[in-house]
């Protein structure tokens, strides 16, 4: 996961879906299409995740002769002046986190070996759906917990997305040993290659997860009863309840 700092007004516009693009300069992270970006403010509070759908690179001077409007936000927190006249315009789909969270600063936590509890739910199947997950150290200190509203989708897609989001965070933490616990027997057995994947909607998510697994030295998948997955389930239902009341 990559991060971009934005001012509060810009974040408000994005959350309200009145803004679907930003402009950045000096892109040291080499952001490209399909990358996922977490947006945070000056207080290091993260508000959601954006998937880049289109990217346009222009020289700032070109806007004077362009029929297109310039991006409504420029991330001018540049690192040096090199290529500062080059603007990368990122168009994206944004999903708000159900509860904004502080950027994790894990200097005091051992994140080399972690546990992941992940869950997903759909009220209607398909219906309003959310993914929830919790990352813990091997001695059960919470590193991060999160719920993400997905819109209308299925329960199985929400379960898979929860695992995908959690593993992306584990990659960001540079964890080496990951133990995954889920109450979805389908997801666990498909990840262990016990079940075949027949649903075409799940195949691309499974492939993306498989690529992420190459980042770790060892990954295990364990099925647990729902009562042992309460933290992740709580994130799912809290997210769906908040969305229902908006």
Superfamily of 2-99 according to CATH: Hypothetical protein. (2.30.130.30)
pLDDT for residue 92 is more than 50: yes
Q: What is the pLDDT of residue 91?
A: 93
Mean pLDDT score of the chain? 86
CA distances from residue 29 to 35, 48, 164, 171, 205 in whole angstroms, order as listed = 10, 18, 21, 15, 24
The number of angstroms, rounded, from the C-alpha of 143 to the middle of its chain's C-alpha atoms is: 15
> In this structure, what are the phi and psi dihedrals at residue 27, rounded to the nearest 5 degrees?
-80, 85
Band of pLDDT at residue 41, cut at 50, 70 and 90: confident
Domain with CATH 2.30.130.30 in the chain: 2-99
Q: What is the pLDDT of residue 153?
A: 96
Q: Comparing 33-37, 77-81, 93-97, 190-194, which segment has the lowest mean pLDDT?
A: 77-81
Band of pLDDT at residue 25, cut at 50, 70 and 90: confident
pLDDT for residue 69 is more than 80: no
Q: What is the pLDDT of residue 80?
A: 37
**So what CATH class is 106-244?**
alpha beta
127 near 106, Cβ under 8 Å?
A: no
pLDDT for residue 78 is more than 50: no
pLDDT for residue 88 is more than 80: yes
The pLDDT tens digits for 120-178 are 999 999 999 999 999 999 999 989 999 999 999 999 999 999 999 999 999 989 999 99
Domain with CATH 3.30.420.10 in the chain: 106-244
The helix/strand/coil state of 162 is helix
Write the DSSP string, 3-27. EEE--HHHHHHHHTTS--EEEEES-
Q: Comparing 97-101, 134-138, 164-168, 221-225, which segment has the lowest mean pLDDT?
A: 97-101
In the DSSP assignment, the letter for residue 104 is P
> Which of 117 and 71 is assigned the larger pLDDT?
117
> Which of 72 and 138 is assigned the larger pLDDT?
138
Angle at 163 (CA atoms; ends 43, 114), nearest 5 degrees: 70
| Token pair for 62 | 């070109």
68 near 38, Cβ under 8 Å?
A: no
3-state secondary structure 52-89: EEEEEEEEHHHHHHCCCCCCCCEECCCCCCCCCCEEEE
178 near 222, Cβ under 8 Å?
A: no
Instruction: Report d(CA 185, CA 224) in Å as an integer.
Output: 8
């Amino acid at each position: 996961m990559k991060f971009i700092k934005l001012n509060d007004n810009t974040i408000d516009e994005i959350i309200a879906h009145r803004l679907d693009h930003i402009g950045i300069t000096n892109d040291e992270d080499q952001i490209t299409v399909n990358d996922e970006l977490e947006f945070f403010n000056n207080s290091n509070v993260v508000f959601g995740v954006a998937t880049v759908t289109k990217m346009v690179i222009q020289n700032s001077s070109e806007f004077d002769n362009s029929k297109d409007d310039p991006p409504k936000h420029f991330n001018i927190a540049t690192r040096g002046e090199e290529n500062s006249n080059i603007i990368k315009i990122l168009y994206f789909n944004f999903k708000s986190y159900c509860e904004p969270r502080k950027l994790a600063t894990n200097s005091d936590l051992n994140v080399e070996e972690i546990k992941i509890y992940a869950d997903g739910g759909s009220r209607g199947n398909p219906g309003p759906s959310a993914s929830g997950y919790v990352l813990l150290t091997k001695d059960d200190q919470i590193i991060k917990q999160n719920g993400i509203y997905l819109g209308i989708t299925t329960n199985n897609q929400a379960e898979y997305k929860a695992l995908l989001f959690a593993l992306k965070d584990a990659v960001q933490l540079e964890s080496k040993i990951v133990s995954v616990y889920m109450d979805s027997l389908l997801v666990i057995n498909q990840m262990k290659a016990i079940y075949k994947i027949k649903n075409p909607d799940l195949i691309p998510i499974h492939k993306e997860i498989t690529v992420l697994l190459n980042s770790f030295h060892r990954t295990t998948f364990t099925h647990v009863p729902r009562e042992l997955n309460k933290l992740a389930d709580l994130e799912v239902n809290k997210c769906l309840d908040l969305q229902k009341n908006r």
